[in-house]
């Protein structure tokens, strides 16, 4: 079964895309926990940080760079934001396609 984020990448499932290029897609979280809550994902399916290989390090760095750019675009660069990647069961990862949460627009206190 194709994962939900791969379906979003392939435009088989709707999403509110805020950034797209050859390797990365970013879209608004369907259930935001803050005024700015964007998911940044690689277009190539990688299930989890557990599966990252040495050749994926540029791509992972790019996810952070895109998040930084979007933080600027969405006006939270100066006020601050959180970048979060959940890993596995205890990390609370629900979707098995690596995604970076960009969360901002309000004061964030919890680390969990």
Question: Residues with catalytic annotation?
Answer: 99
Using rule CB under 5 A, residue 27 touches Zn ion: no
Using rule CB under 6 A, residue 29 touches ligand AMP: yes
Interatomic CA distance for residues 39 and 54, integer angstroms: 23
CA-closest candidate to residue 82, choices 99, 68, 97: 68
Using rule CB under 6 A, residue 72 touches ligand AMP: no
Using rule CB under 6 A, residue 31 touches ligand AMP: yes
CA-closest candidate to residue 83, choices 23, 26, 38, 28: 38
Interatomic CA distance for residues 45 and 50, integer angstroms: 13
Beta carbon nearer to Zn ion, 6 or 83: 6
Which one of 1-9, 25-33, 49-57, 76-84 is the stretch in contact with Zn ion (CB under 5 A)? Answer: 1-9
Q: How many residues bind ligand AMP (CB under 6 A)?
A: 12
Contacts of 102 (CB under 8 A, 6+ apart): 26, 36, 37, 38, 39, 40, 67, 70, 71, 81, 82, 83
Beta carbon nearer to Zn ion, 6 or 108: 6
Choosing among ligand AMP, Zn ion, none, which partner's interface includes residue 45 (Cβ < 5 to 8 Å by kind)? Zn ion
Using rule CB under 5 A, residue 7 touches Zn ion: no
């Amino acid at each position: 079964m194709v994962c939900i984020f791969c379906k979003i990448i392939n435009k088989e499932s709707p999403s509110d895309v805020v950034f797209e290029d050859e390797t990365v897609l970013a879209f608004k979280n369907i259930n935001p926990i803050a005024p700015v809550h964007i998911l940044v994902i690689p277009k190539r399916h990688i299930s989890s940080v557990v599966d990252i290989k040495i050749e994926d390090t540029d791509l992972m760095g790019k996810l952070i760079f895109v998040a930084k750019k979007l933080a600027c675009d969405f006006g939270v660069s100066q006020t601050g934001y959180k970048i979060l990647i959940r890993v596995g069961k205890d990390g609370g990862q629900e979707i098995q396609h690596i995604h970076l949460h960009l969360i901002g627009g309000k004061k964030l206190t919890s680390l969990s």
